[in-house]
Structure 1
Amino acid sequence: MAMSRAVPNLAFRRLRGQHSPAEFAAAVRRAAREIGEQVACDARYIGRVEAGEIRCPNYAYERVFLHMFPGLGLADLGFSARETVRGRRPAVSAGAPPPPADTTRNDEESDVLRRAFMTSGSATVAAASLGFGGTAAAIPSPRGTHRIGETEVRAVEEAVRQIRLLDDRHGADGLYKVAAQPLRAAYALLDAGTAARRSTEDRLHAGAGELAISVGWLAHDSGRFDDARSHYAEALATARVSGDAALEAHAFCNTSFLARDAGRYREAVRAAQAGLRAAQPLSSARLLSLLSLREAGAWAGLGDRAACEQSLGRAHTYFARGQADGDPEWMSFFGEPELEALEAHCWSALGDWSRAARHAHRATVLQNPHFARNLALYRAQLASNLAHAGRQDEAAAEARRVVGSLDGVQSSRIRAILTETGRVLAAGAR
């Protein structure tokens, strides 16, 4: 029996009006930022919706679309009811053929992934439920002379998004080893060298490189610095081979962050500066701001207050230019809370604990609770700054808040900060 064909979503196409798919995708991303949501919308996604390939959006997109078009429901936007699309297989009478596969699976957000976010108390369970080796993020293996095309590339890109989403909610500790599997699969596709078109090959290089950075970050955040360094270097090599300036800037950004955490401050400065050079041709002031903050943190580690303040000033100047359509997808975490948190780290490295505490407090106040791991990190940093500033009672109260919010969040970085804060508080008590 032939599979049913997708029915074009004409209602959604009418809503797009005279905007190009890329322009409309940019409007979707702006609307998401207005309500604190995180979506990775591009022209391809809009095309898939209009072609009827996406019969019902995931929950994040649903919230954004309903925000964009007040008074309209999913049906008005041309989508099918959720229960007919995913998670519930319609009853099948005896002898009848099974329903089409797309009635029980939506590759933008499977019910498995949704449940992992909503109910999992463990990053390990979340990753296993996600099924990197079998379901939503499965990356096909190269098969003989089979030409690599849209299916394989999209699987790599989706794996990157899912890893980032799980890290936002759960932290890195339980995800790292599981996430290494799709990374190996992505580079096996690259090694096969059988992409159908140059544009497909470029996307595959970019996706594999971003996946290497994502896995590297999981290693970084869980204290596996040597592994992280290897993954970042792999991403940088991929960027150089493919001539991808955006990927190169991202790799240098994370390399600088890692070097700072490892106490290699000169290397951190050089990596941040290399990232700034790579990012100059790109249309993203926010990327330049983040790289300037990486450089500021490195200078602070070296104790060079003047150079740190100069880099901080440049970071604020770039940040004030606002968001742009050229901002990389991976930078969705970088807003005012992260700016405040990174500046707080600079002042703490320079020993100005009270100033660090002020910025860390602003980070906790401004942070969207969706980013559970980052919120816990900011509060842990605030507790540490307060403890070093001699504000023992406030520090202890903040540390208790962190511990109370860690359900489902596993991060060696946060635990290390709490342990160090406990030592400072104990020393103060003595």
Structure 2
Amino acid sequence: MSDVERLQRKFASVVASDHRHGGQLGIEQRAVSLADEALNLQNSGSATQRVRSNLYATAASFRSSAMWAAIDGRRYHEAIGHMREAQTLAELSGDQAIKFRIWSHAGSLYRHMGRPADALAANDVARNLHITRRDPMFASLAAARQMAIHGVAQDRRSLRRSFGLAQDAMGRAEPDTFRPVWLLAFYDEAELHSLALTAYLAVGDWPTAEYHAHRCLAAFRPHMRRSRAIATSRLAHAQLAQGDADTATRTAMSVPVDAATQHARVSRMLQEFSAALRATAPGSSSTRTWTEHTAAWRATA
């Protein structure tokens, strides 16, 4: 178990790196290497069933982090490979929490790939695990991610219902319940509003998207640098879609340079913002300011 505890400390470090940087190939590779390290311990001497189960769960945790880094970096083919390996390891471990994480991530993967039917099916596996009945915080996250999928599917009624379910479950969650480090590190009211922002952007409800953007940005904890950059980029889109090019440009310019140039999802959203700004406000002072700003980004990247 001392080996397990050592690896779990490394897992906490991987989770922290993900929230600072997100989507980086180096995070994905490190997580894969640590998953292999956990599996190699299975072959070194005898171990109790408890230790073996924990080693499989730890390996599955690392693989699920590699999967998320690949999703976040838009490396979807690699993410599918990590998902399949993580699912196998999670089954060998019998750990409900890591099974939830992997299937919930699978739902997010298919959502980002534009496959809402597969996303709903994968997220339903997570929603139906026993752990969601035992701990409302897991139920809340499952409903919140379901809400984001409903946005891609253009299902406004289900979107609103899922937000209510997620909010209600979060309110019922006992604060002192033991939860895994990966859940404690990111899921809170800020993330709930961030997922609502994603959903309402997808259905084109710009004022509601902006409302949720402000709510999540006000509530993000300091370590959520990657999530803050993503939410800020989405806020800029919502503001621009409402015709406020000046405010939207100022918002987009507040995204940190490292996120704008090195994070695949943020870079893609800001490229789309550039195209939308040029289309809606060609020749404006906002467009000129944004063009100069992005040129400075590229010069420092």
TM category (shorter chain) comes to 0.7 to 0.9
For 2:80 and 2:135, how far apart are their aligned partners in 1?
25
Aligned match for 1:422, one of 250, 260, 274: 274
Structure 2 residue 93 is the aligned partner of structure 1 residue 231 = no
Aligned residue for 2:100?
249
For 2:119 and 2:224, how far apart are their aligned partners in 1?
26
8 Å Cα contact 1:300-1:347 kept in structure 2: yes
Q: Secondary structure at the match of 1:402?
A: coil
Aligned residue for 1:374?
227
Aligned residue for 1:147?
none
Q: After superposition, what is the alpha-carbon deviation per residue over 1:377-410, rounded to whole angstroms, capped at 9, x for unaligned?
A: 2111111221222221111001100035749x94
C-alpha displacement of 1:172: 2.7
C-alpha displacement of 1:260: 0.5
For 2:121 and 2:165, how far apart are their aligned partners in 1?
17
Aligned match for 1:384, one of 215, 234, 237: 237
Q: Percent identity?
A: 27
Aligned residue for 2:36?
184
AA matched with 1:399: A
Aligned residue for 1:166?
17
8 Å Cα contact 1:221-1:412 kept in structure 2: yes
AA matched with 1:270: A
Aligned residue for 1:130?
none
AA matched with 2:232: R
8 Å Cα contact 2:116-2:152 kept in structure 1: yes
Identify the structure with bigger relative contact order (alpha carbons < 8 Å, sequence gap 6+): 2
Aligned residue for 1:39?
none
Aligned residue for 2:207?
354
Unaligned runs of 5+ in 1: 1-149
Residues 305-384 of structure 1 mapped to structure 2, 5 A cutoff:
305-322=156-173, 323-332=175-184, 333-384=186-237
Q: Secondary structure at the match of 1:175?
A: helix
8 Å Cα contact 1:292-1:315 kept in structure 2: yes
Structure 2 residue 239 is the aligned partner of structure 1 residue 411 = no
Unaligned runs of 5+ in 2: 283-301
C-alpha displacement of 1:155: 3.0
C-alpha displacement of 1:280: 4.2
For 1:396 and 1:405, how far apart are their aligned partners in 2?
18
8 Å Cα contact 2:193-2:212 kept in structure 1: yes
8 Å Cα contact 1:288-1:315 kept in structure 2: yes
For 1:344 and 1:422, how far apart are their aligned partners in 2?
20
C-alpha displacement of 1:167: 1.5
8 Å Cα contact 2:123-2:145 kept in structure 1: yes
For 2:132 and 2:153, how far apart are their aligned partners in 1?
29
For 1:344 and 1:154, how far apart are their aligned partners in 2?
37
For 1:347 and 1:286, how far apart are their aligned partners in 2?
22
Q: After superposition, what is the alpha-carbon deviation per residue over 1:255-287, rounded to whole angstroms, capped at 9, x for unaligned?
A: 101110111100111111110111446532111
For 2:86 and 2:31, how far apart are their aligned partners in 1?
15
For 2:266 and 2:244, how far apart are their aligned partners in 1?
20
Aligned residue for 1:288?
139
Q: After superposition, what is the alpha-carbon deviation per residue over 1:215-243, rounded to whole angstroms, capped at 9, x for unaligned?
A: 11111111111111221222222222232
Query: Judging changes above 3 Å, is the alpha-carbon distance between structure 1 residues 395 and 199 closer, same or farther for their aligned structure 2 residues?
Result: same
C-alpha displacement of 1:209: 0.8
Query: Judging changes above 3 Å, is the alpha-carbon distance between structure 1 residues 410 and 284 closer, same or farther for their aligned structure 2 residues?
Result: farther
Q: Secondary structure at the match of 1:168?
A: helix
8 Å Cα contact 1:376-1:405 kept in structure 2: no
Higher radius of gyration, 1 or 2: 1
Q: After superposition, what is the alpha-carbon deviation per residue over 1:81-131, rounded to whole angstroms, capped at 9, x for unaligned?
A: xxxxxxxxxxxxxxxxxxxxxxxxxxxxxxxxxxxxxxxxxxxxxxxxxxx
8 Å Cα contact 2:133-2:139 kept in structure 1: no
TM-score (norm 2): 0.86
Q: Secondary structure at the match of 2:141?
A: helix
Q: Secondary structure at the match of 1:368?
A: coil
For 1:335 and 1:205, how far apart are their aligned partners in 2?
27
Aligned match for 2:110, one of 242, 247, 259: 259
For 1:244 and 1:257, how far apart are their aligned partners in 2?
20
Q: How many residues align?
A: 279
For 2:266 and 2:31, how far apart are their aligned partners in 1?
20
C-alpha displacement of 1:248: 1.1
C-alpha displacement of 1:251: 0.9
For 1:364 and 1:195, how far apart are their aligned partners in 2?
49
